[in-house]
Each structure stands twice: as structure tokens, then as C-alpha cells.
Chains A and B, each alone.
Chain A
Amino acid sequence: EVQLVESGGGLVQPGRSLRLSCTASGFTFGDYAMSWVRQAPGKGLEWVGFVVTKPYGGTTEYAASVRGRFTISRDDYKSIAYLQMDSLKIEDTAVYFCTRDRGRGYYGSSGYWGQGTLVTVSS
């Protein structure tokens, strides 16, 4: 069974950093691209970014709203995806979901989702 468990969320002051982790199990982690999607309270889904697999160069891409502040990485040995969030802003407050692409390859829909972890940016 595919499982994705996010951790690392919490309360953080504006301008500070936070790192989220997504621990995966139930599949060969290195075979799939991993994404982060967030949802501000009462709002819709916002794609944050993704990291593809090593055969595709481990490329990362980001939404304009987080580019230059957030970094996505992966550790295929530990089956963990990370979201490093720097220079946090109040508008980054959201539930952050980790997702796994449905299939192997560069282009994929989010076939599996974690339960999400809440990040609150406030002074």
C-alpha cells in the first residue's frame, strides 16, 4: 500500500525557515516524481513544485510564488522528499500536501496524497 506521511509543519515567524519531510513507503521511491501542493485555509489547491526522478535528471520546477525561496529535494535511499522553505511569508500559511505521480515518467498527475501538514507563518 502506498503511504505518504508529511512532517515538520508548525508555527514559524515571518522571514524564518522550515523544512518539511515526506516519508514514503509501499513503492520504489526512486521510480516516481514527487510534488508538493498547498492549500491556504478555506482556499483552493496551489501547486508548489516537483522533483522528477534521477533518470530524468532530478529536475525541479516551482510555482512563481515560491521560486527562489523554496527548494524541493529527494533522498532515494531514505525514500523521503523534502520541501525547504526559506524567507517565509504570512501568505505561505497553508496545509502542505506531498504527492506521488500516478505513473512513472516526467509528466504525471498526483495519484497519491499524504494527509498534509499545517504550516502557520505568524509573528
Chain B
Amino acid sequence: EIVLTQSPGTLSLSPGERATLSCRASQSVSSNYLAWYQQKPGQAPRLLIYGASSRAIGIPDRFSGSGSGTDFTLTISRLEPEDFAVYYCQQYGRSPRAFGPGTKVDIK
């Protein structure tokens, strides 16, 4: 079973700043089947990135994903007010399709 860890747990930043979120897997993620999701309070999660680096439909290009193997990164180049939320990574190349514990990006 692949276990995902995310860091930091909370990231306090100001609008306009760059956010760098990390997701580390306990084993190599096959075919880079790694996704990132954004969740705002009271809402369902939304897919941002799949295949480690491909943006989902309608996702602004300030969101980018990178990494391979066991280390992955989600970068938000310039935070907009609507980007303050919780972000989860998930590997889907092997069952169970575990999620990481999440990183909360809040306003400094």
C-alpha cells in the first residue's frame, strides 16, 4: 500500500505570493498517476492536476504540477483570493487509491 505524506500541514501566505506544496509517496507512483485536488469549505473537491503535471479542464495556468517517482509538487505561481483552500494529492496507479492528509493554504 502506498502512503502519501503532504507538507507543510498549513501554509500561510498573502495574495500574490507563490505557494509550493509537497507530496511524498512511500513507494514509487506507477506511471506518475498522481493527482491534486482543491477543496473549499462546504464544497466537493475539484481536480486540478492529473498525471503529475497535466492541468484539468478549466484550471488556470497559475497552477502547475511537477515531479516523478516518489516526490511531487503543486505550485501556485501567484495566489488569488479564491485559491485559499485545502489541497490533497492522490495516487491512482495502484489500489488503494490513497489520498494524502492535505495542506491548508490560508491567508497570512
Which residues of A pack against B, CB within 8 Å? Answer: 35, 37, 44-47, 50, 61-64, 97, 102, 107-116
Main secondary structure of the interface of A (DSSP, over half): strand
Question: Smallest Cβ distance from B97 to chain A, in angstroms?
Answer: 5
Interface residues of B, Cβ cutoff 8 Å to A: 1, 31, 33, 35, 37, 39, 44-47, 50-51, 56, 86, 88, 90, 92-93, 95-102
Besides A110-B47, A116-B44, 10 other A-B contacts (C-beta < 8 A):
A37-B45, A50-B97, A64-B1, A97-B44, A107-B31, A108-B92, A109-B33, A109-B51, A110-B35, A113-B44
Q: Report the number of A-B residue pairs with Cβ-Cβ less than 8 Å.
A: 61
Residue contact A44 to B88, C-beta cutoff 8 Å: yes
Asked if B44 and A44 make an inter-chain contact with CB atoms under 8 angstroms apart, the answer reads: no
Q: Is the CB of A107 within 8 A of B88?
A: no
Q: List 28 A-B contacts (CB under 8 A).
A: A37-B99, A44-B99, A44-B100, A45-B39, A45-B45, A45-B88, A45-B90, A45-B102, A46-B99, A47-B96, A61-B95, A61-B96, A62-B96, A64-B1, A97-B44, A102-B47, A102-B56, A107-B92, A107-B93, A108-B92, A109-B33, A109-B92, A110-B35, A110-B45, A110-B47, A113-B45, A114-B44, A116-B44
Interchain CB contact (< 8 A) of A47 among B50, B93, B97: B97
- CB contacts (< 8 Å) of B35 on chain A: these are 109-110
List the B side residues contacting A50 at CB < 8 Å: 97
In the complex, which of the residues A35, A47, A50 has the most CB atoms of chain B within 10 Å of its own CB atom?
A47
Shortest C-beta distance, A78 to chain B (Å), equals 22
Closest chain-B Cβ to A22's Cβ sits at a distance in Å of: 12
- Let me know if A47 and B98 touch, CB within 8 A: yes
